[in-house]
Structure 1
Amino acid sequence: MTETAPVGYPPRRSDPVATAGVLAEQLAPGAAATERDGVRRAVLDRFAAGGLHGLLGPAEAGGTGTPVSTYREVAELLAGADGNTWFVWFQHNPVVKLLAASANDALRDRWLRALCTGTTQTGVAYSHVRAPRTVVRADRIPGGWRLTGDVAWCTGWGLADLVLLGATADDGRVVLALVPMVAGPALVPSAPLALAAMGGTSTVGLRLDGLDVADDDVVSVTDGESWAAGDALANANVQPSTFGVARAALAGLRGHDGETAAVLAERLYDVRDRAYRLADERPPADDVEEKLATRAEALLLGVEITSAFLASVGGRGMDLAHPAQRWAREAQFHLIQAQTGAVRAATLARIRAGAA
């Protein structure tokens, strides 16, 4: 891939889908190299130049305030073209949304505009808060919190400027704090993790050895049960990236086996339509079991579609330069990405039902 943008790039910030389409065309040919050599900040800055870091941010803070349908289409395009770059970019979006809703006015004023414009970029490290036991402890100290524990996953280390850390207090409250992504005695990254998928995302583990965080840097402190309930409801819905990988593999399959592609396309667009209708038309707490079952259906269909493409290509599809094997691995990754206990149970239940 080249660092030089083509003439006329980027498209208007008011047309994020067009921007994502241009970027997808540019990124796809080099996706294997990106997985091997790593995502580059210069590419993420091109995303920012096209307005893609502020899709979930308010217009008054420099965001685009685009409809969720637009965000989904952008995410699908990017995930299908280059999963590694998509995943680093993906980390940034929930931080924008959380900061925009934060009661910490000073923190919001300090960072939200920079996050929406992408001049400052973020990663996240709070999936461990979903664990049934405390993984990272938050102890109250004068003027802030002290964080201690081991974080299994932090994506985009060295690519982002800030990281949103999650920790659990003794009373079960969840503390989310926005701190510089800079190594130090109390914030120690591991070497990049060797991963079966998303290996170019600069994902590391973190040791928090008494990291002091000021109240001024705290995005939220939330009752643990309330946080877990909200997280579970949000993650009951299908992630757009699941469909992005499946759509990309389906396009490849059409060139090898149109008959199989037609059958799978009908199933894919049916579940995609149902998934987005459930997310858009039903309140978050309604029909949760149906949402979970639909997510499980979409996840396993993604595995099926990418497997079909790999089978249609044959042995050459196992070359690391070929997208068939990469999409198959990424579909497997989506099985566990943002996975709650309820998502895991729904996925396994669908597998059991299919085997019966």
Structure 2
Amino acid sequence: MSNSAKVLDRADRIAEEVLFPAAETVDASDTVPTAHLDLLAEEGFYGLAGPPAFSDMSAEDTTTAARALELVASGCLTTAFVWAQHHSAVMAANRSQRPGITQEWLEPLCRGVRRAGLAIAATRPGPAAVRAEPVDGGYVLHGVAPWVTGWGLVDVLLTAARDASDTLVWTLIDAVESDTLTATPIDMVAVAASRTVQVTFTGHFVPEERVTGTVPHEVYLQNDAATLRFNGSLPLGVATRCARLIGTSPLDAAVDACRATLDNAGPEQLPSARAAASALALRAAGLCATTTGSTAVLWNQPAERLMREALFLLVFGSRPAIRADLLDRLHAS
């Protein structure tokens, strides 16, 4: 069995044997069980995006990593949502040219000893949501980052902020409230146990040794479309679970085709492929609810949870091009 096959087999087993049986309980809770995240760490999945030296579950390619995320999401989208944020910090530590970042951070991140979330509002077009002011010894951050996932479940946040020259400054910030960093819970219709918050920085100091790198914002935006594949696995996970609950049907082929389109899409095609995945998740959830029947409208049932998750995935991680394509698809249907 190849390493990719081992990664996918183990991800599928965890999804089927641990995550899916507990999905309704997690959905009704206020936090993802640490046991779920600990299991992913123990099995090596926190190193999915890292080098094989630190994890037997290191993915050999993007396709394997994306499929592993899809499988975990098919078991429990909330657990997958928290865990998925972590991999950006792994990649940042692995690629960093800053002294000490790789040496200090990469191995503990890959092993899940340190766990990370994301605060990336400053990467979006328009005025910077979070600003970085250079000071002696580092930077001071000001601003608001909504949609920060995993509060209380992660140790650090890979945080983006923009300086006066419109350069993104990436830092690893301790996920701890203080006089200069506050977290306000966000109440969502799905994945509520992901502990997603809005983080406010009020003159929050970050030492220079926590800077993982910098990049002009314009350059980041030019490359952004190429990064969209990974999050497309979340709606595929929901669609996959719906297909398994329904049983053999034309939905199976639709999921496979959508996955193949995402895997083969280049940067120009990825926004449309992402929109197609979100649209498929919504259609799959509708099919699952209709197949299930009247019990689909009862709380704490897979069909109603999957429908709410499909709603969430219509807007999660969106971009103007994704939204426009998705609206066209929904109007056409």
TM (norm. structure 2) is 0.92
The separation in 2 between residues aligned to 1:123 and 1:276, in whole angstroms, is: 25
SS in 2 for 1:209: strand
Equivalent position amino acid for 1:268 in 2 = V
The answer on 1:144 being equivalent to 2:135 is: no
> Who is 1:335 aligned against?
314
Amino acid at match of 2:155: D
Deviations 1:231-275 (A, max 9, x none): 233226761122111011011122xxx6xxx23333222222222
Q: Deviation of residue 14 (structure 1)?
A: 9.1
Work out which of the residue numbers 256, 260, 271 in structure 2 matches 1:269. 256
Give the partner amino acid of 1:75.
L
* Structural RMSD (CA): 2.0
CA distance in 2, matches of 1:237, 1:214: 30
Cα deviations by residue, 1:88-111 (Å, 9 ceiling, x for unpaired)? 111101111122111113022111
Secondary structure class of the residue paired with 2:205: strand
Runs of 4+ in 1 over 6 A off after TM superposition: none
Q: 1:104/1:63 Cα in 2 relative to 1: closer, same or farther (>3 Å)?
A: farther
Which residues in structure 2 correspond to 1:285-324 (within 5 Å)? 288=268, 290-324=269-303
Say if 2:222 is the partner of 1:235. Answer: no
Partner SS state of residue 187, structure 2 = coil
SS in 2 for 1:105: coil
Q: Is the 8 A contact 1:76 1:244 kept in 2?
A: yes
- Identify if the C-alpha distance between structure 1 residues 22 and 268 changes in structure 2 by more than 3 Å, giving closer, same or farther: closer
**How far apart, in 1, do the equivalents of 2:161 and 2:314 lie?**
25
Identity %: 27
**1:125–1:153 Cα contact (<8 Å) kept:** yes
In structure 1, runs of 5+ residues without a counterpart are 1-11
2:328 to 329, 344, 349: 349
SS in 2 for 1:194: coil
Query: Is the 8 Å Cα contact of residues 167 and 175 (structure 1) preserved in structure 2?
Result: yes
Amino acid at match of 1:212: F
Which amino acid in 2 is paired with 1:59? P
Aligned to 1:43: 36
1:18 aligns with 2:12: no
CA–CA separation in structure 2 for the residues paired with 1:23 and 1:93? 19
Residue equivalent to 1:171: 165
| Structure-1 separation of matches of 2:171 and 2:140 | 11
Q: CA deviation at 1:197?
A: 0.9
Name the aligned partner's letter for residue 275 of structure 1: L
Q: Is the 8 A contact 1:124 1:165 kept in 2?
A: yes
User: 1:17 Cα deviation (Å)?
Assistant: 2.2
Q: 1:124 to 1:201 in 2, by over 3 A?
A: same
Within the candidate set 148, 151, 154, 1:154 is matched to 148
The range that moved more, 262-271 or 52-61, is 262-271
Q: How many residues align?
A: 328
SS of corresponding position for 1:167: strand
Give yes or no for contact 1:246–1:305 (8 Å, CA) kept in 2: yes
Aligned to 2:304: 325
Which residues of structure 2 form unaligned runs of 5+?
Answer: none
Amino acid at match of 1:120: R
